[in-house]
């Protein structure tokens, strides 16, 4: 029983991280219909920037995370402006390949600057807490709380502010949005900014319990794709729910099925879903 509760808690932790990554991915997909394969590299870069801010400049954890959000967000804006905007009229194949090119570059770049070694990030919240016979580190609790706070903020931003509603408008219909005078280019850049920022938050939160290395984005991005297919491409609640579903099934699968094969669970899940329903669960009535 105790193991079960402990694993549920772990699932909640990784689920929070997955949800944040998937949210960024689904936002971009909803607006521009690009499966951004480079999102995992943004996630990785976010972790590195937070880490080097902390180790090189001795900035505190939150400040480092803030810098990381800004830098990665701006990088997202650059990608939109100089790569994806030029490909807007191109066949969908081209976006994917361009994204893969960016992914390869960013990974090589990280390896060039920071080396191929594994780094550990020490968080100021390493204390072990004991609540009702359950032990966990404060960092894990922090991940859950911050992730939920970010999600609530994002929800408020999208629903209550003008800028947020332009994003929603554009995801509903690009033509319609530009007819009512929304500047599509600005909205696209804003979306990429938010998407990059979310990736940076996710990796800064997750790095203290994982490791920082050039390939850290691989599995995460693949799983984020599984999540947004699970939750419907472009759907925001879908990304959150999907993230937690995957988090729980992984942590339970690792305990009760096999630790070796826990990474495969997500992919098996995806293969099953797409086998049964080729357009993904909860797909909006496209085409």
Partner 1 sequence: MRILTKRNGIIALIIFAFSFPYIAQNDYYLHMLTLSFIWAIAVYGINLLSGYTGYLSLAHAGFFAIGAYSLGLLTVKAEMNFWLALICACLITCAIGFLIGLIALRTKEHFFAIYTLCVGYIIYLVIDKWEGLTEGVRGLIGIPAPGNIGPITFDTAASQYYLVLIFLLAVILIMYRIIRSLTGRTYMAIRNSEDLAQTIGISTMKNKLTAFVLSTFFAGLAGALYASFIRFIGPDIGSTAIMFDLLMYLLVGGIGTLSGPLVGTLLLVILSQNLQFLQEYRMLIFGPLLTVIIIFYPRGIAGAFYDWQRKRKDNELSGVRGELHIKAEEG
Residues that bind partner 1 (CB under 8 A): 29, 33, 35, 83, 86-87, 90, 92-94, 96-98, 100-109, 111-112, 116, 218, 222, 225-226, 229, 233, 260-261, 263-264, 267-268, 270-271, 274-275, 278-280
Minimum gap (Å) between residue 281 Cβ and partner 1 = 12
Q: Which is nearer to partner 1, 51 or 270 (CB)?
A: 270
Q: Which is nearer to partner 1, 130 or 275 (CB)?
A: 275
Q: Which is nearer to partner 1, 106 or 143 (CB)?
A: 106
Minimum gap (Å) between residue 104 Cβ and partner 1 = 4
CB atoms within 10 A of CB 121: 22
Q: Which is nearer to partner 1, 104 or 149 (CB)?
A: 104
Minimum gap (Å) between residue 167 Cβ and partner 1 = 20
Query: With contact defined as beta carbons under 8 Å apart, do 236 and 174 qualify?
Result: no
Residue with tokens 């419907």: 232
Q: Which is nearer to partner 1, 208 or 234 (CB)?
A: 234
Minimum gap (Å) between residue 191 Cβ and partner 1 = 17
Q: Which is nearer to partner 1, 70 or 274 (CB)?
A: 274
First to last CA, the chain: 47
Cα R_g (the chain), whole angstroms: 19
Minimum gap (Å) between residue 218 Cβ and partner 1 = 7
Minimum gap (Å) between residue 216 Cβ and partner 1 = 14
């Amino acid at each position: 029983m105790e193991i079960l509760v402990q694993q549920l808690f772990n699932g909640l932790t990784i689920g929070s991280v997955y949800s944040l990554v998937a949210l960024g991915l689904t936002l971009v997909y909803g607006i521009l219909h690009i499966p951004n394969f480079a999102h995992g590299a943004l996630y990785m870069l976010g972790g590195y920037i937070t880490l080097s801010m902390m180790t090189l400049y001795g900035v505190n954890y939150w400040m480092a995370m803030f810098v990381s959000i800004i830098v990665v967000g701006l990088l997202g804006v650059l990608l939109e402006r100089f790569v994806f905007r030029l490909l807007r009229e191109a066949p969908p194949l081209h976006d994917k390949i361009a994204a893969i090119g960016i992914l390869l570059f960013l990974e090589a770049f990280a390896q060039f600057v920071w080396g191929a070694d594994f780094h550990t990030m020490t968080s100021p919240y390493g204390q072990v807490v004991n609540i009702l016979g359950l032990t966990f580190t404060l960092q894990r609790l922090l991940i859950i709380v911050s992730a939920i706070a970010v999600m609530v903020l994002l929800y408020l931003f999208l629903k209550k502010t003008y800028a947020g509603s332009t994003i929603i408008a554009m995801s509903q219909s690009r033509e319609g949005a530009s007819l009512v005078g929304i500047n599509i280019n600005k909205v696209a850049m804003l979306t990429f900014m938010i998407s990059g920022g979310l990736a940076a938050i996710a990796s800064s939160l997750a790095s203290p319990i994982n490791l920082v290395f050039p390939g850290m984005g691989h599995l995460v991005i693949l799983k984020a794709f599984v999540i947004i297919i699970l939750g419907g491409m472009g759907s925001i609640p879908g990304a959150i729910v999907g993230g937690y579903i995957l988090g729980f099934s992984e942590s339970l699968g690792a305990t009760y099925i096999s630790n070796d094969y826990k990474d495969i669970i997500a992919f098996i899940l995806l293969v099953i879903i797409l086998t049964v329903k080729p357009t993904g669960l909860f797909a909006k009535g496209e085409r």
